[in-house]
Amino acid sequence: NAGVTQTPKFRVLKTGQSMTLLCAQDMNHEYMYWYRQDPGMGLRLIHYSVGEGTTAKGEVPDGYNVSRLKKQNFLLGLESAAPSQTSVYFCATSRKGGKETQYFGPGTRLLVL
């Protein structure tokens, strides 16, 4: 089992460009999350999903959109990238909410010039 995978691993964008980050999981987990981590900081939740077809905002949702069309995939979109979105993006999954361990992907490094 691959667990949680993220595509791409690294990307450079110019300001105003768009892109989609893909998170895929093979653990049949209901909950999925997108976090961002800036240098020297802890992770901050962008958006999350409690099941296929559902999404909700986290603490820093502005400038991002998400979709969960299939249970195993959670997409994070940047419609018009800004330098402030330069960060490392982590996807996580959990079997459900409540006291469930979250499993994290390896991260996507994004540089916006």
Partner 1 sequence: DAKTTQPPSMDCAEGRAANLPCNHSTISGNEYVYWYRQIHSQGPQYIIHGLKNNETNEMASLIITEDRKSSTLILPHATLRDTAVYYCIVGLAGGTSYGKLTFGQGTILTVHP
Closer residue to partner 1 in complex, CB, 64/90: 90
Residues at the site binding partner 1, with contacts judged by CB under 8 A:
4, 31, 33, 35, 40-45, 48, 50, 56, 58-59, 90, 92, 94, 96-107
* Minimal distance, residue 82 CB to partner 1, in Å: 23
* Minimal distance, residue 65 CB to partner 1, in Å: 18
**DSSP per residue, 27-57:** S--SEEEEEEE-TT--EEEEEEESSTT--EE
Nearest to 75 by CA among 20, 13, 29: 20
